[in-house]
């Protein structure tokens, strides 16, 4: 069942642990960048589109790594999917993030959507709708740092940093240096504050 033994106790014993360190994230980004180069024949026709906030930063990192491994620098865009969500009626309005179309548009390109965590798949569904309004790409692929399962839609990532079997009660936290001051991914069975997670990621070892 893939249930974490610590969270299975359910008797108030709280646990949080690091599942990707800063070094591992950087290796994962390198690996995904190589896979993109391989799968898209040198990434010459690729555009990267990050989903805010952390997907946008991951997309920028993948762009830098692809540029380092080859002489191609794919354009990067940012796509906030809030206005395309299908749960606004139940969850209420939220502030919008910046949206920026990649230079040269997406028509005829291979678009690689980049997000930090793949969960229900609903964010990606909304992103696919949004991309359709931007133009007609040749293909759309999906790269995620963490796939935690529990899909509610038939969506599968093309590039996965790490598969993490989780239970629905667990929380996955992704920290990215540009945003949070440290890199890392942690999992928890309660709701710690982001400061606690950052302290865990920078201080090393899990409790």
**Interacting span for another protein (CB under 8 A) from 126-134, 139-147, 162-170, 183-191:** 126-134
Binding residue for another protein (CB under 8 A) from 3, 13, 68, 88?
88
Tell me how many degrees the CA angle 111-128-130 measures, rounded to the nearest 5: 100
Binding residue for another protein (CB under 8 A) from 10, 71, 133, 154?
133
Residue 80 as a binder of another protein (CB under 8 A): the answer is: yes
Q: Where are the beta strands (DSSP E) in the chain?
A: 16-20, 46-50, 76-78, 110-118, 139-147, 159-163, 171-175, 184-188
Residue 195 as a binder of another protein (CB under 8 A): the answer is: no
**Interacting span for another protein (CB under 8 A) from 8-16, 54-62, 128-136, 181-189:** 128-136
Contact (CB, 8 A) for 133 and 105? no
Binding residue for another protein (CB under 8 A) from 83, 153, 177, 199?
83
The helix (H) or strand (E) run that includes residue 82 is none
Binding residue for another protein (CB under 8 A) from 5, 10, 95, 205?
95
**Interacting span for another protein (CB under 8 A) from 53-61, 64-72, 133-141, 189-197:** 133-141
The helix (H) or strand (E) run that includes residue 33 is helix 22-39
Measured between its terminal Cα atoms, the distance across the chain in Å is: 24
Residue 103 as a binder of another protein (CB under 8 A): the answer is: no
The HSE-up count of residue 124 (CA atoms within 13 Å, CB side) is 25
**CA dist., res. 198 & res. 207, Å (int):** 13
Residue 104 as a binder of another protein (CB under 8 A): the answer is: no
Residue 84 as a binder of another protein (CB under 8 A): the answer is: yes
By CB under 8 A, name the binding residues for another protein. 80, 83-84, 88-93, 95-101, 105, 129, 132-135
């Amino acid at each position: 069942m893939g249930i974490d033994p610590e969270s299975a106790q359910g008797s108030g014993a709280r646990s949080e642990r690091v599942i990707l360190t800063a070094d591992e994230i950087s290796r994962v980004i390198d690996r995904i960048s190589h896979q993109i180069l391989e799968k898209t024949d040198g990434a010459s026709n690729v555009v990267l589109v990050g989903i805010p906030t952390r997907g946008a930063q991951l997309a920028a990192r993948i762009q830098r790594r692809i540029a380092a491994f080859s002489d191609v620098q794919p354009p990067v865009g940012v796509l906030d999917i809030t206005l395309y969500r299908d749960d606004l009626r139940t969850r209420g309005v939220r502030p919008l993030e910046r949206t920026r179309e990649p230079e040269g548009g997406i028509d005829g390109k291979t678009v690689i959507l980049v997000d930090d965590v793949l969960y229900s798949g609903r964010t990606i569904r909304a992103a696919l709708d949004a991309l359709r309004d931007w133009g007609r790409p040749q293909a759309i692929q999906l790269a995620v740092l963490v796939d935690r399962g529990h899909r509610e839609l038939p969506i599968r990532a093309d590039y996965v940093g790490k598969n993490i079997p989780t239970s629905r009660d667990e929380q996955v936290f992704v920290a990215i240096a540009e945003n949070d001051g440290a890199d890392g991914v942690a999992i928890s069975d309660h709701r710690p504050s982001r400061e606690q997670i950052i302290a865990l990621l920078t201080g090393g070892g899990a409790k």
